[in-house]
Amino acid sequence: MGKKGGKMKSILLAVILLALAAIVFILFGGGGLLTTAGRKIEGAGKQADTIKQKVEEQAATIGKKVEKVKESVSPGGKK
């Protein structure tokens, strides 16, 4: 039973340590750091959206070209 109490004690101390670390982070201006990180992530998301749209447009045009090539090739053309 002594081991269970030791595990619980270490888990409790770890939780307390994490809570104190979070409080110190907030007190030393961590909010500003999180704000700038959020803005950077948002900018990366917008760039990803624009790239996605460009890729989709290019894929659509390539798909149309492939369909035209398929139509121009006759089914019995190979010997």
- Measured between alpha carbons, how far is 26 from 33 in angstroms, rounded to an integer? 10
Judge if pTM exceeds 0.85.
no
Q: Which residue has the higher pLDDT, 75 or 36?
A: 36
3-state helix, strand and coil shares in percent for the chain, rounded to the nearest 5: 85, 0, 15
Collapse the DSSP code of 79 into the 3-class scheme (helix H, G, I; strand E, B; otherwise coil) and give the result.
coil
Q: State the DSSP code for 73.
A: S
Residues 24-71 pLDDT 10s: 888 888 778 888 888 999 999 999 999 999 999 999 999 999 988 888
